[in-house]
């Protein structure tokens, strides 16, 4: 099970869930989405407004960048997504 999660050139958060046949979800900047660390190596991404889980607890090794390369560690994944989550109006 691989999931691609990255911030594209437009600043959108892109979640490509290959286990669902390649469903691609895009979240524009300033959507009310949060990320949380679970244990030492898992990430959860949730929608605040809808209350649903966008990415269930997933180990960083099962998450790939836009090019299909797995993130080397949790810090690499966290840093790659920081531009989306730390963006300001």
* pLDDT value of position 38: 84
* pLDDT value of position 57: 87
Q: What is the pLDDT along the chain (89 residues), one digit of tens a residue?
A: 579 999 999 889 999 987 656 788 999 887 888 888 888 888 888 988 787 888 888 888 899 999 989 999 888 998 999 888 876 55
Query: pTM score, two decimals?
Result: 0.82
Q: Would you say 71 and 57 are in contact if contact means Cβ atoms under 8 Å apart?
A: no
* pLDDT value of position 7: 93
Q: How far apart (Å, rounded) are the C-alpha atoms in residues 66 and 53?
A: 21
Q: How far apart (Å, rounded) are the C-alpha atoms in residues 64 and 58?
A: 11
């Amino acid at each position: 099970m691989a999931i691609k999660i990255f911030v594209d050139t437009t600043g959108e958060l892109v979640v490509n869930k290959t286990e669902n046949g390649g469903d691609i979800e895009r979240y524009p900047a300033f959507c009310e989405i949060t990320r949380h660390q679970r244990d030492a190596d898992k990430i959860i991404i949730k929608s605040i407004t809808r209350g649903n889980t966008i990415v269930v607890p997933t180990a960083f090794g099962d998450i790939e960048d836009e090019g299909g390369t797995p993130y080397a560690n949790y810090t690499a994944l966290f840093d790659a997504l920081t531009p989306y989550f730390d963006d300001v109006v």
